[in-house]
Structure 1
Amino acid sequence: MFMLSKRIMRLGKKAISPILATLLIIIIVVAAAVLVYAFSMGYLGSLTGQAGRMPVIDNVQFAGNQIKIVVRNKGASDMVIDAVYINGEAYEVTQPVKAGESEVITLDFVWETSKSYKIKVVETGGLFYEGEYTAPSVKPAWALRFDGIDDYVEIPEVLPDEGTIEFWFKPSWNGDDGAGHTLFDASYGSQYFFIDKDSGNNLRWCFEDSSDRDMQLLVDGTFFEQDQWYHIVVTWKYNSNGPHEIYVNGEKAGSRTYTVGNKPTLYPNPRIGFRTIDYAASSGGADGVIDEFRIYNKVLSQEEIEQNMQGNVLTENLVVWLTFDEGQGGTVADQSQNGNDGTLMPSYPDNCPTWVKGYTP
């Protein structure tokens, strides 16, 4: 009996060959994989089928101090993106995205060149899409080209009682062209406030107080050369005798000591590149490229002006800072964080300033 059972045991061991055992294992593994796949697909299909929403990031744009995320809904039902994560940092948003359509989510974010960012968008039901995106190696330098006919950028009227306006300007004309070109205007009613190059070839900085006292400062404007960049700065002080000044490329070009009273009511939406009303400023527009437009609520010193000109921008006392680095769209963001954004006018996108290469220090 002992020998028989032992033989049976040996026969049992030989009943399944190694090849057959291997085949059985393969069959079991494949069957398990099929079951897992079927379960997961069934679960995901049920999840997406019930929700009908599918967020996808189509594109990420790095512009100025912003990140613009193009989100598409590949699902059959509308969705709402309620959170964006950049390298794990959460940003609350509320961005509806209709089924089959795309929307742009714009976030204020100071990004670094050549750096990679993990960006995740999450919709209200918890579905998300995540990817890694690398910022460009050089921050784009954009600006706006004004046609000189009717193009302008309008901003809110936030001009202070004393302050500084500065910007870079590249004319499409020479300073002795005998034509008028308005660079900035906030004139309203019978009070003017403007910067232009007039038909007499003078660079003019002119403003009035509420009692119609006229401060006019003119310097020779024939220095302008076509397609050359110039750093233009004007300063003023209401309720004082100034001095009120013009700087060109960091050098004081003109100064006037003249007493003015209270600031008058100015145009509700001052214009960069064109006049506001048919009054004192030149009828022709800027006809050139404008970049890095800033307004301060203090009179900058020559040292501070030179610092700004070199690209080391003074950020204190800023009221408006339009870098024009968006490179697209009909709105330019105020980088001073005061919300004084600019709008491309008179009609975006068909009749308004156009995006071109900007000034690089």
Structure 2
Amino acid sequence: MKKVFTFLLVMCLSFSGTMIMAQNHALDFDGSSNKVGILDSPELNPTAAMTLEAWINAEEWQSSIWAGVIISKQGSGPDKGWCLSAGENGRLEFTVSVDEGWKSVATPQLLGTNAWYHVAGVYTGTQVKVYINGVLIGAEDAIGSLTPGEGVVVNIGENPTWTGRYFNGMIDEVRIWEVARTDAEIQASMSTELTGSEAGLVAYYPMNEGTGMTIADATSNGNDGQLINMSEDNWVDGFVPVTADIGVMGIASPSYIGSGFAADEKIRLEVKNYATEPITEFEITYQITGSDAITETVVVTIPPFETYIYTFEDLVDLSGETEIEITGSVSLDGDDNAANDVLTEMIEPTLNFMIFDEERHNYGGYGQTHTKTLYMPESLEDFSEIYIHIDLECPTGGCDPWDQPAKLMINKDGENYEIARYITPYGVACGGWTWDITDFRSLLVDEVDWVSYVQVWGASGWLVDVELELIEGSPEYPFVKIEKLWSEDNWVYGDPDVNDDFPEMDVMIHPETEAAKIRMTMTGHGQANTSNAAEFSDFTHHIWVDGEETFEQHLWKDDCDVNSCAPQSGTYLYSRAGWCPGQDVQPWEWDMDGHFTPGEMVNLDYVLYDYTNLLNTGYNGGSHTEPHYRCHTYFVQYSTEDIVGISDQSVVMDHIQAYPNPTTGLYNIKMVNDNIKTIDVYQLNSQLVASYQLNGDQEFQLDLSDMPNGIYMIKVQSENHTTVLKTVKSN
């Protein structure tokens, strides 16, 4: 089972109180013009704390998380107000303006379409939080008073300041509080009707009118709402909490990627529990057009919001087929939402796959960020090289006129990895850029979310083409382990009040590692300050290895005139700190040969040129940004032996056994025909947290009970072996 979020594994929500049954209505928003407007009033501008709540049922998600507004009172000049929104394939975001500016927290892609969810955003005075069905999904620090959105109206279904951000679906039971509600308080009343007199409740819209062009505020404040661009047809039945809803997420295999089908193909379907109760048994079916349907009963516990990939028992001979149409479906007692039960896809394996085909990116309704889930093969051992190709085209009306950073990422198990970066040209279509991403092969298996981002602020934007290419062959090193070092999109540089010293990183070298390198993508941005840093500053930085200055990085690109996008407008001819308008940004690579020892730690430090910005305010009247670097760095290890595997199970090898994994505290390590000398325990960031010297014992019980929950690397040194184990500690 794929563990999406460990904090959800034990959450089984129950609804208490009196369910809303009679006169239960909601409003259906079309995603293009419908909204409810509420005039500003003092009650709608809390300053110390607040909570927003609503029930939503999306028909379709907007491409960006901020583009589908549920309820908003955001304003600008200066930043002020708050917003609860959802989009980007089921992500929820809560944003508030505090003394420091906008602060937000977002969820992963947990929400589905055509199903009711309770959503909430809370600001406590020290944190901004976001909830789904009463479960805390995320929290971020945000200290200070709320900046009141005085003079800004409240909109349900659209943003009052940045128009065009419409919600597509149903909204019900909107509540605005001037207090920070607790988890227990949200859970206790989220599915019950309020009286309107509850302490701290400043606006409440049950939406039970079912007719007319207004919604009444059930509190004594009388902040009624006006339906805009809506009619009687927009009134629909209200929310009903869903306790049973399973849906097919995708066809996990056969994969779209490959040279053809095999004689022993696995049929694998990914399903998701969209409801508020665990699922323990359901039926699952697949049918390849022209063949009989195959149905099997699955007995497994899937907690709320979690996904599960089921593999059918018998292999299928698809050799000789060039394409297949396959339908996956699920059946669950009590599941009344048939909209997500069936999925049909046409699969035609190819070595060149278009991940994004003229996908429009802009600052309007299309959004800066686009995500596509692709089911990759379970193994890439038959491919020697993996490439990404990117091209830009102009939408109707022309391309965006500015040079802006853009990147392609993969999201694997909830974590983003930047794999390619480029800078858009000044208003012309071009591209032909290629990146070798073979180093990421261990992450490019099974389910992979591909994320394309262009920092574009105009309505025109770009049409982005992203093609994945795989080359068949035997790789020199079939096993590649890649780990993040420094991963920053806005590393402030030269500000006397901000420390720009990158932290030192300790990396555990696997005992079977045969080669290694550092891979860094680095560009400088911001100007109108001392030395026009960091965009136009010619500086040299260094990588230190184990306390010695080892590698040099002259971060300067002086060939901007040799540009495949020429002619452009703007200043594309000028040299810059690691980039040019209309060019790809290729990674720096440093070979670690001679600088590491298998089975030992290596210390890495990235030391920037010593720079102080003496003009640290203003930035040319606000037309430029503070000097900063975009730095994404990885440590890559290569081997002909498996150094990649991260098991969720107990370890059983010829020379060692270790269990249980995960563990609540006690972790047993037993050597086979060998004696343990030392055991070192590291956190995932490579910090040593415990060390044990043993007297030739064959067994040792490691106690992690007092350590925080998380992932730990355990290095076991015996007389004949050095073994690195990975375990998860959770209560």
Please classify the TM superposition score into its range, dividing by the shorter chain length: 0.5 to 0.7
Q: Deviations over 1:217-269 (max 9, x none)?
A: 1221x2221110010011114xx4x2221110010011112213452434531
Match of 1:139 in 2: 22
SS in 1 for 2:221: coil
> Residue 147 and residue 267 in structure 1: after superposition, are their counterparts in 2 closer, same or farther (change >3 A)?
farther
Matches within 5 A, 1:225-240: 225-237=112-124, 240=125
Structure 1: gaps spanning 5 or more residues: 1-137
Distance 2:203 2:210 in 1: 18
Q: Deviations over 1:71-129 (max 9, x none)?
A: xxxxxxxxxxxxxxxxxxxxxxxxxxxxxxxxxxxxxxxxxxxxxxxxxxxxxxxxxxx
Match of 2:199 in 1: 316
Matched, 1:160 2:46: yes
SS in 2 for 1:288: strand
> Residue 225 and residue 254 in structure 1: after superposition, are their counterparts in 2 closer, same or farther (change >3 A)?
same
Which piece of structure 1 moves more, 334-343 or 307-316?
A: 307-316
Matched, 1:271 2:155: yes
- Structure 1 residue 310: Cα displacement: 3.2
Distance 2:121 2:65 in 1: 22
Structure 2: gaps spanning 5 or more residues: 1-20, 242-731
Instruction: Indicate which of 218, 234, 237 corresponds to 1:354.
Output: 234
Matches within 5 A, 1:69-84: none
Match of 2:432 in 1: none
Matches within 5 A, 1:45-194: 139-157=22-40, 158-161=44-47, 162-173=49-60, 180-190=67-77, 191-192=79-80, 193-194=82-83
Match of 1:289 in 2: 170
Match of 1:114 in 2: none
SS in 1 for 2:107: strand
Q: TM-score, normalised by structure 2?
A: 0.27
- The letter for the 2-side match of 1:294 is R
Instruction: Indicate which of 305, 312, 327 corresponds to 2:210.
Output: 327
- The letter for the 2-side match of 1:160 is P
Residues 177, 201 of structure 1: 8 Å contact kept:
no
- Structure 1 residue 153: Cα displacement: 0.9
Residues 35, 158 of structure 2: 8 Å contact kept:
yes
Q: Comparing both structures, which one devotes a greater share of its residues to strand?
A: 2
Residues 159, 295 of structure 1: 8 Å contact kept:
no
- The letter for the 2-side match of 1:355 is W
**How many aligned positions are there?**
213
Distance 1:214 1:226 in 2: 28
Matched, 1:215 2:103: yes
- The letter for the 1-side match of 2:97 is E
- Structure 1 residue 181: Cα displacement: 1.3
- The letter for the 1-side match of 2:31 is G
Aligned residues with identical type, % of pairs: 23
Residues 143, 327 of structure 1: 8 Å contact kept:
yes
Instruction: Indicate which of 320, 330, 339 corresponds to 2:222.
Output: 339
> Residue 265 and residue 179 in structure 1: after superposition, are their counterparts in 2 closer, same or farther (change >3 A)?
closer
Q: Which entry has the higher C-alpha Rg, 1 or 2?
A: 1
- Structure 1 residue 303: Cα displacement: 0.8
Q: Deviations over 1:13-63 (max 9, x none)?
A: xxxxxxxxxxxxxxxxxxxxxxxxxxxxxxxxxxxxxxxxxxxxxxxxxxx
- The letter for the 1-side match of 2:46 is P
Q: Comparing both structures, which one devotes a greater share of its residues to helix?
A: 1
- The letter for the 2-side match of 1:284 is R
Match of 2:381 in 1: none
Higher relative contact order (CA 8 A, sep 6+): 1
Runs of at least 4 residues off by over 4 Å: 174-179, 198-201
Q: TM-score, normalised by structure 1?
A: 0.54
Distance 2:209 2:65 in 1: 34
- The letter for the 1-side match of 2:210 is G
- The letter for the 1-side match of 2:84 is I
